[in-house]
Every structure is written in structure tokens, then in C-alpha cells.
Amino acid sequence: AASGVRFDRPAEPEEYPLQAPDPRVETPAAEAGGTAQVCVACRAGRVDGDGYCENCGHAQPRERDHMERESGPVAAVSDRGLRHHRNEDDFAVAYTALPDGSPAALAVVCDGVSSATRPDEASTAASRAAGDVLLAALPRGTHPQAAMHEAIVTAARAVDALAGEPEAAREHTPHQNAPACTIVASVVTSGLLVVGWVGDSRAYWVPDDRSAPPARLTEDDSWAAQMVAAGLMNEAEAYADERAHAITGWLGADSYELEPHTASFKPDRAGVVLVCTDGLWNYAEAPQEMAEVLPPDAATRPLHAARVLVGHALDAGGHDNVTVAVVPFPAPPQGAGSA
């Protein structure tokens, strides 16, 4: 990152270990000729390069199973959940400054499409590409909404490129889809809140003053949302259908024509923006439900708030990977317009 700019994202294990040792991971024991990791299940076998025990075959926990990052006032937590064998979500968080010196905070959250090949790589490519664009564009003075559009387009290109790699060509069959993911992102500057998305990952607004109503800031690219928009079903009926979460928009070489959604808001009070995958909002779908789960001190303790939200999803079943970023929105300057 450039001097004076902080840009934190989930990274490879050798760069950013977990904040606390993960009890699920055995510390590698040094041996002649290298290091060896002992299986967490049988405690006897050695772990091969693919992460499986040579003795009992048990898959070992990976660093990506649980990730936590902070950057300035922004924080994010991602967890594999209780049912999936790997975490296919990824995220980027950053804190920088605009040309006038005022602060800008951003968060990008991506959810790999499980039916596609290499969804975990897709979410990583997208979150990093989008984060890099926003981090470069905002200090140059690009309007946050224009920067958001550029970030999503660049993220889409990064995911598209995965489909053309030799490894993808070897793996791809007529029954498999190209690498793909959803994306949702938020930029917060003084008095302005911008969101952008493709897919069914969401952004929510929760004011610090809980007497004001929370709101969902994004509209899903999904079968259920299409049914509701067309007036064919009400929301309860649509989301109860087994086809509800079939997405109609995503980043990937086999997606339909890319249509990045962006929107800007000018809240009239302080609050927080929650940027999350469906692994969280499945357990707190309505804005009021999300607000009830969010700790009241989320703006001052964003990492704690993100942990609480992820814990809520895990306690409720953890059927999917779950990722959430918490981006505080400070009280706007005097005279700022309302949302």
C-alpha cells in the first residue's frame, strides 16, 4: 500500500496469521528436512500437501476457515460455517483519505458460487481487485459512486480471467461452470454512503439511534426478488420457495451481461453499514432483525460486532459460509442532506 494508506485484506497464512491461535490447528513440528503438520483428528498421521492426513484421511482446518481483519474503524470477520468443507467467501477492508484529507472507509465482501469451479479463488480475485480499485481511485478524487462502478467492473474482469487459466481449462467440463462469485461493497465518506453489488450479498444500514428504522440498501439479483418485482409472489412466498436463492446476477465468465448496481445515500445521523453474505442474512433477513442482533456499540467496537453477527449465524445453524464487514458511518456535518 502507498505511504500513509492502510489497506488490510485477508491474506495468505504466512502473511497474516489469525489474531489468536486456532485450537483446531496443530502447530507444525520441526523435523529434519523440513516441517511436518500432525493430524488434528488422529494425532498420528502427517498432513500431505493437499491438507489431508496420510494416516486417516481427515481434512485439516485451513487458515481461511476463520479470518478477522481491522483497518482503521472498519472490521470484518469470515467463517467457514458448520456445514461446508471450506470457506468460499473472501473480503477486503481499507481506510484511506480523500484529496481534501477527509477520511474514507471501504469494505468489499464476495461469496463464491458453490456450483462453479474454484469459487474460493473467484471471491479472492474479486475482493482484491475491487478493493485495489477503490483504494486507488478515492484518494485521486474520483467520486465514490463512479469508483464503485469501476471497482465492480474490474472485479468482474479478474474473475473472468480465472476461466482462461490453464488450470481452469483442465478442470472445466460441460457440466461445470466457470469460476464465479457475488460482490457487495460499501464506501463511507464524510456525509456520504455508497454501495455497489452484483448477486445476493447485501448491505444494511443500522442507525446508532435505534428509534430510527434500519434499512436494506441493496436488492438481490435472485429468483425470489424477480418474482416479487414482477408481482407474481409476495416476499414471504418467494423466499419460502426452494428456488429463492438461485441468483440471476454474478461475476464470472459465464454470467449474463454485467449490470453493476450502485446507489448513494446521505443519512442524517450516525450509524453503521453491514456488508454481508447470505450466510448471515439468512438468519436475520429483515432489517429490523439484523438491527436486533447487532450490538448497540457496533460503531465503536466494529470487530466485536462482526464477531457477534458471525456467532449469531453459527448458533442458528451455520449452514453456509458467513462473512460480514462493519463500517461505521459518523454523524454527518451540519447541513448535510438526509437519505
pLDDT 10s digits, 177-212: 899 999 999 999 999 999 999 999 999 999 999 889
Distance, CA of 27 to CA of 222 (rounded, Å): 43
Note the pLDDT of residue 285. Answer: 93
The length of the chain in residues reads 339
Where do the domains of the chain lie? 64-329
Cell of 13: 497464512
Give the dihedral of Cα atoms 159, 189, 200, 61; nearest 10 deg.
60
Residue 335 has what pLDDT?
58
C-alpha cell at 97: 483519505
The CATH code of the domain at 64-329 is: 3.60.40.10
Rounded to whole angstroms, the Cα distance separating 237 from 49 reads 47
Q: Which amino acid is located at 116 in the chain?
A: A
Task: Output the CA torsion sign for 270, 275, 281, 283.
Answer: negative
* Amino acid identity for residue 228 in this structure: V
Residue 148 neighbours by CB distance under 10 Å: 30
User: How far is residue 147's CA from residue 136's CA, in Å, rounded to a whole number?
Assistant: 9
- Supply the DSSP string of 148-198, one letter for each residue: HHHHHHHHHHHHHHHHTSHHHHHH--TTSBPPEEEEEEEEEETTEEEEEEE
The confidence score (pLDDT) of residue 52 equals: 82
pLDDT digits (tens, 9 = 90+) for 16-75: 333 333 433 333 333 334 467 888 778 888 888 777 888 888 777 778 999 999 999 999
Other Cβ atoms closer than 10 A to 103: 14
Q: How far apart, in whole angstroms, are the C-alpha atoms of residue 51 and residue 107?
A: 30
pLDDT along the chain (339 residues), means of 10: 40 36 38 62 82 82 90 97 95 97 98 96 98 98 98 98 71 70 97 97 96 95 90 88 89 92 97 98 96 97 98 97 98 63
